[in-house]
Amino acid sequence: MRQEKYFMPVCPQDLTERGIEQLDFVYVIGDAYVDHPSFGHAVISRLLESHGYSVGIISQPDWKKDDSISILGRPRLAFLIAAGNMDSCVNHYSVSKKRRQTDAYTPGGEMGRRPDYATVVYGNLIRRTYRDVPIIIGGIEASLRRMAHYDYWSDSFKRSVLLDSQADLISYGMGEKSIIEIADALESGIAVRDISFIQGTVYKTKDISGIYEGVMLPSYTQMKEDKVRYAESFGIQYENTDFITARPLIEPYPNHIYVIQNPPQPPLNTAEMDRVYALPYRRTYHPSYEERGGVPAISEIKFSLISNRGCFGGCSFCALTFHQGRTVQTRSHESILEEANLLIGDPDFKGYIHDVGGPTANFRHPSCEKQMTHGVCKDKQCLFPKPCRNLKADHSDYLALLKKLRLLPGVKKVFIRSGIRFDYLLADPDDTFFRELVEHHISGQLKVAPEHIADAVLSLMGKPEHSVYEQFQVKYRQLNQKAGKNQFLVPYLMSSHPGSTLKEAIALAEYLKGIGYMPEQVQDFYPTPSTISTVMYYTGLDPRNGNKVYVCRNPHEKAMQRALIQYRNPKNYDLVYEALTIAGRKDLIGFEKHCLIRPGKNNDREKQQVQENHKTTGRKSMKSSKDTMRSSKDTLRSDKDSMRSDKDTMRSGKDTMRSGKDTMRSGKDTIKSGKDTIKSSKDTIKSGKDTIKSGKGTIKSSKEIIKSGKNTIKSDKNIIKSGKDTMKSGKEKNRKKHTIRNVHKKKDIR
C-alpha cells in the first residue's frame, strides 16, 4: 500500500474511494482520531501502513449499538483496540471519583463519548458480532492492566484485561516492534492462539509446558484472597521489566487458564525511533471534527517535540517503568530538527516551540553503558536513594540539540515543559545546561516535582531527599541572579501518598509557610493501575521489600492532608484546625509568625456545637418539612389575601400621591411666603441695627455733654470755691481792717 498523506479510512466511502475491499486491520479507539505521533493509534496505524497493511479507524463507537463496530466490515487479519492516550477511568474521573466535565481527547471536549473500562467494553462489543476474528489490545489501559490488578474506581481486584475483554493478545508497552511481528505472524497464517513467542505481548493458554524459564506468580484466586500475595506478585513483575533480564511471567486463573507475560520488546534504537517519527502523519485531527470545534488536546502537542522515551527516574507513583521501561531511547538531532521545520512551516506557528522532551525532559541517553548489554539493575535504582556511581549524568547532547533548535530561522524561543529531573541535573558536574535552561528555556517559571519534603514519604515515593531539592533551589536562584532574571520555581506537591500521616502533611504545610508559597492546585495521590504506590495503597505493603506502609484511605483525612497544603485558603480553615488538633499541634494555631492559622474562628465548644447540631438536624428536618408544608398552604392563602390587600394599597397609594402633590404645591407657597417674611425681617433687623447705631451715637454725644457739664460744674465749683476763697480773704481783710480800725478807734479813745 502506498504511503500518502491522507487520513486512514474512517467510513465505507473512504474504502470505496481508495479501492479497498477489505481492510487488514480495523482499529477501534477511545480517543478522537488524531494523526499525530503523540497519539498511540496514529503511530501504530502509520507503522502498519508503512509495512504494507491497510488500517481503518473506528473512533469512539457507540458501544450500545452492535452495528457501530461493523461499519468498516470484517478485517482480514484482526481488530485492534486502544482505549486512548489515557486509561478511560483516569480520563473520566478525578481522584475523588467525581466525573470530569471535559475530555480533551474528544471532539469539542465533550465528555461521555467512550465507556469506562473502554478496552473491555470494545472487546465484548466486537465479540458479539465477530466471534472468530483475532482481537489485539494495546495502549496504556491494556498495558497497565495486563496482569491481575487493583482497580481503584471499583475498589476491586480485577483479572487481566485480556480475559475480561475476550481479546487474544495484548501488545504492551509502546508496541511498535511487537505489533509488526504480530501482523507478520497473522499474515503468514499462524493462528492467533499460537502466537506466544513475541516479546512485548501477553497471551492466554491452558498449556504452559513449553514456557522456558517462566516464573510462576501467585494465582489470581490467591491474590484476591490475600493482599500480601498480590504485593509479592507485583514485586516480581517489577523486577521483570527489562528486555534483557526479564523472564516470562505465568499468572494462573481458575479452570487451568494461564495468562503469560512475555518479556518486554527491545527498546528502539535511534534509527528506529527516527523512522517512527518520520512517518507521514497529517499532524492534526480528522477534518470531520472541525464543525465540533476540533480536538482540544491538539493545542498542547501541536508545537511540541518528543525527543525521548523511557525513564530511569523510578518514581513509585508512576507507571512508566511498566509501560516504556527504564531504558531511555532517543531520536537523533536530525529527526527532531526535521520535525521542527514542519512546525515552523505551519501557518499557526508563532515562533515558539512549546516543549522538547519526553517522560523526563533531561534524559537523553541510557543511565549507564552497562545496561545496554546486561540490562538495568533489578535490585537498585539509578537515582535513588543517591545517584548510582555508574550513572552517566551528562547534558551535553540535550544542550547541543536545544542550541540547534534555537538557531532555526523562524524560532523565537524553545521552551521545556516536560519535567526536569533536578537530582540528575545536580549530578552533572558541568552546570552549562542548568545555566542555559535558566537563560533560554523557561517561560517565567520552572515547574519541578519534589512532591514532598518529608524524607520518610520521599523514600517511599522513590524521590531524592529534601536536601537535594534545597540545593537545587539555591543554585536556581544563583543562576537567575547571574542571568539578571527573576523566574519562579514552582514545586509540584502530592498529598496523601502512602506513608504520609498528618505529621508529614503538617511538616509540608510548615515548609510552605516558611517559603511563603501556597500552591493553587494540590494533587492528591491517585492510585492508577500498576504503580508501586498503588500496590502500597491497596495492600499496605511496599512490594519491593514487604515493609508495612501507612496508607491514608479515609476521605476525611485525605481532605485534611490536602487542606494543610493550602492552609491559607479560608475554605480550609476548619479542616486545618481539626488536623492540627488531632495531631496535637495546636502550637501552630495562634498569632506567632510560625503559626499556620489564627485562633478564634473555631474552637472546641463551637465544634461540639456544630456536631450536635448535625445530629439533631436529621431528626428535626422531617418535622420541619411537615411544618413547612402546612406553612406553605397558609402562605398560599395569605398570599391571596395579600394580593387583594395589595390592590387596595395601590389604590390608596394613588390617592396619597395625589394628595402629596397638593401638599407639595402648598408647601412651595409656604416656602415663598417664608422667604418674604425672612426678607422683611432682615430689613427690620437692618433698620434696628441703624437705630441702635444712632442710639449709641446719641448716648456717646450725651456722655460727652454730661462729661462737659461735669467739667463745667467742676469749673463752676472751682470758681465758686475761688469766689468763696476770695470772699473769705475779703472778709479776713475786712476783719483785719475792722480790727485795726477798732484798735485805732481805741487808741483814739484813749
The answer to whether residue 425 forms part of the interface with ligand SF4 (CB under 6 A) is no
Phi, psi of 602 (to 5 degrees): -140, 150
3 state DSSP class of 465 = coil
* Binding-residue total with ligand SF4 (CB under 6 A): 13
Scanning 120-128, 279-287, 296-304, 382-390 for contacts with ligand SF4 by CB under 6 A, the matching segment is 382-390
The window from 178-186, 385-393, 492-500, 644-652 that contacts ligand SF4 (CB under 6 A) reads: 385-393
- Give me the least distance between CB of 214 and ligand SF4, in Å please: 24
- Name 443's Cβ contacts closer than 8 Å, sequence gap at least 6: 413, 415
Answer yes or no whether residue 376 interacts with ligand SF4 by CB under 6 A.
yes
Using rule CB under 6 A, residue 378 touches ligand SF4: no
Q: How far, in Å, CA of 709 to CA of 705, rounded?
A: 6
Q: Which is nearer to ligand SF4, 43 or 388 (CB)?
A: 388
State the Rg of the chain over Cα: 49
Let me know: does 79 contact 134? Beta carbons within 8 Å: yes
* Least CB distance to ligand SF4 at residue 40 (A): 27
- Residue 444 makes CB contacts below 8 A (sequence gap 6+) with 487, 488
Bridge partners (DSSP) of residue 260 are 203, 250
The binder of ligand SF4 chosen from 136, 162, 183, 377 (CB under 6 A): 377
Of residues 384 and 469, the one with the C-beta less far from ligand SF4 = 384
Give the residue, chosen from 94, 221, 390, 649, that forms a contact with ligand SF4 under the rule CB under 6 A.
390
- Does residue 427 bind ligand SF4 (CB under 6 A)? no
Candidates 90-98, 131-139, 381-389, 417-425; binding stretch for ligand SF4 (CB under 6 A): 381-389
Looking at beta carbons only, is 445 or 545 nearer to ligand SF4? 545
Q: What distance, in Å, lies between the first and last C-alpha atoms of the chain?
A: 201
Stretch of residues binding ligand SF4 (CB under 6 A), selected from 369-377, 422-430, 463-471, 741-749: 369-377
* Contact string (CB under 6 A) for ligand SF4, positions 304-333, x = contact: --------x---------------------
Per-residue three-class SS string for 341-392: HHHHCCCCCCCEECEEECCCCCCCCCCCCCHHHHCCCCCCCCCCCCCCCCCC
Residue 27 main-chain phi, psi, to 5 deg:
-105, 115
> Is residue 33 a contact partner of residue 286, using CB atoms and an 8 Å limit?
yes
Residue number with CB closer to ligand SF4 (370 or 630): 370
Of residues 242, 530, 245, the one with CA closest to residue 366: 242
- 367 belongs to the binding site for ligand SF4 (CB under 6 A): yes
* The binder of ligand SF4 chosen from 370, 679, 717, 745 (CB under 6 A): 370
DSSP tally for the chain: helices H, then strands E: 24, 22
Shortest reach from residue 140's CB to ligand SF4, in Å: 24
Q: Which residues inside 632-691 make contact with ligand SF4, applying CB under 6 A?
A: none
The nearer residue to ligand SF4, 25 or 243, going by C-beta atoms, is 243
Minimum distance from residue 309 beta carbon to ligand SF4 (Å): 17
Listed ranges 21-29, 81-89, 198-206, 373-381: which one lies at the site for ligand SF4 (CB under 6 A): 373-381
Extract the C-alpha cell encoding 270. Answer: 535511534
Tell me how far, at minimum, the Cβ of 239 lies from ligand SF4, in Å: 13
CA distances from 159 to 230, 254, 323, 738 (A): 12, 11, 18, 174
Contact 420, 450 (CB under 8 A): no
- Edge-to-edge strand ranges of the sheet holding 445-451: 445-451, 488-495, 523-524
CB of 246 to ligand SF4, least distance (A): 14
- Give the Cα separation of 3 and 20 in Å (integer): 14
Candidates 36-44, 294-302, 328-336, 383-391 — which segment interacts with ligand SF4 by CB under 6 A? 383-391
Tell me if 711 contacts ligand SF4 by CB under 6 A: no
Please, what is the minimum distance in Å from the beta carbon of residue 458 to ligand SF4?
18
Beta carbons within 8 Å of 636's beta carbon, 6+ residues apart: none
- Within 8 A by CB and 6+ apart from 24, the residues are 48, 53, 54, 55, 75, 76, 77, 183, 187
Only segment of 379-387, 395-403, 411-419, 431-439 that touches ligand SF4 (CB under 6 A): 379-387
Interaction mask 259-298, ligand SF4, x per CB under 6 A: ----------------------------------------
Stretch near ligand SF4 under the rule CB under 6 A, chosen from 169-177, 264-272, 298-306, 388-396: 388-396
Which residues contact ligand SF4 by CB under 6 A?
312, 367-368, 370-371, 376-377, 380-382, 388, 390-391
